[in-house]
Amino acid sequence: MNNNPDLQNFLTENGIQLDPVGHSITNTGNLEPEENMICLLSHYGHLQITGPDTATFLQGQTTCDLNEVDDTHSQYGAYCNVKGRMLSSFLLARLNTEQYLLRMRRELVSTTQATLGKYIVFSKAEQSDNSDSVIALGLSGPKAKSTIQQLFPNALEERLNSSIANENIAIQLDDEGLMFECWIKTDQLADLWPILSEGMTLQGSRSWELLTIRQGLGEVTGTTTDLFLPQMLNYQATGAISFTKGCYTGQEVIARMHYKGKMKRQMYRITAEEPNLSPSDHLFNTQQEQSIGDIVNSVCLGNGKTEALAVITIKDIEKNSVVAGENRAPIEVLSLPYAISN
């Protein structure tokens, strides 16, 4: 999955393995997040775009407002096709005025790069797959902020604040200051790890994905690309769409839905007594065979249950008649940490 020998040595020395889809696995096997946790987020990759036209280029291609991104503030966003369907979703940060990183699911980096490549040739900008030279780490818990502040000088006080040190980036992901990502150069990982991991429990990346699900942050994966409008994943509630910045690819459809349409489907957090639910698996009404929704992201909890984010027809949720997967497992709808609007 990664051809960088620095990372391979690090994995071996720390007893971390990768599963067939690239998630990190530790010896504990415990999925429920510990109070203070650090995770190697090997399921993520990084697309780097550099050059004097980078901000202008991204402004015309993505759902987020690049004017809100600087050296101290990052942003969630998506890249869509002309029909408004998301081809990839990402967390975007800036290293300097001509260098941006988009963190997304690793399997989407090359396809996103190929699609953007059709348009970037008209700009003074270049892109590269930095997935082998940059690795994402997740830190959560009461000790996370003080740990990160030992390495990153700028204050991290609010959601999506970012800080840069030696070409590494730290980003606060929540309002409370309990959840952070660090994007570390792989050739610096072994040196920085003792500081970042002190007092933290090492867990696999599925534990981090479970935290992300509980934050209600749906992500496009290789099996769900070209499936969802951004509003279906509640991106209007999490700040990943700007309705005021002007034109971008897919903007007409997305804006029409916002101003004139009514969403028939939205994303819910659910649990089901079904151990094998995966992204793009279908949900059904108990009275019919036709699909009424799709799994967005999921984690099998190891007790026969799966916790997931799923896009589901609103009227079927209101009727309490939704089942999931081939086994038609009944679902339970869980709370999200934000309110949903059209």
Q: Is residue 116 part of a domain?
A: yes
Cα separation of 92 and 111, whole Å?
17
At residue 276, the pLDDT reads: 87
Q: Is residue 105 part of a domain?
A: yes
Running DSSP on this structure, what letter comes out for residue 33?
P
CATH number, residue 323: 2.40.30
What pLDDT, in 10s, does the model give residues 93-149?
A: 999 999 999 999 999 999 999 999 999 999 999 999 999 999 999 999 999 999 999
Cα separation of 327 and 60, whole Å?
43
Instruction: Give the chain's domain count.
Output: 2
Last residue of a domain, one of 171, 198, 214: 214
Specify the range with the lowest mean pLDDT, choosing from 1-15, 73-87, 158-172, 191-205.
1-15
My answer on whether 202 and 309 are in the same domain is: no
When pLDDT is averaged across residues 12-16 and rounded to a whole number, the result is 89
My answer on whether 140 and 281 are in the same domain is: no
At residue 331, the pLDDT reads: 97
- Other beta carbons within 10 Å of 4: 16
What pLDDT, in 10s, does the model give residues 219-268?
A: 999 999 999 999 999 999 999 999 999 999 999 999 998 888 788 999 99
Residue 1 predicted with pLDDT over 70: no
My answer on whether 165 and 270 are in the same domain is: no
Q: Is residue 244 part of a domain?
A: no
At residue 153, the pLDDT reads: 86
Residue 342 predicted with pLDDT over 70: no
Per-residue b or e along 171-201, where b marks 16 or more CB atoms closer than 10 Å to that residue's CB: bbbeeebbbbbbbbbbebbeebbeebeeebb
What pLDDT, in 10s, does the model give residues 18-66?
A: 888 889 998 766 789 999 999 999 999 999 999 999 999 999 999 999 9
My answer on whether 156 and 293 are in the same domain is: no
Q: Is residue 305 part of a domain?
A: yes
CATH number, residue 12: 3.30.1360.120
My answer on whether 164 and 84 are in the same domain is: yes
My answer on whether 304 and 202 are in the same domain is: no
Q: Is residue 112 part of a domain?
A: yes
My answer on whether 155 and 279 are in the same domain is: no
**Structural domain range at position 306:** 265-334
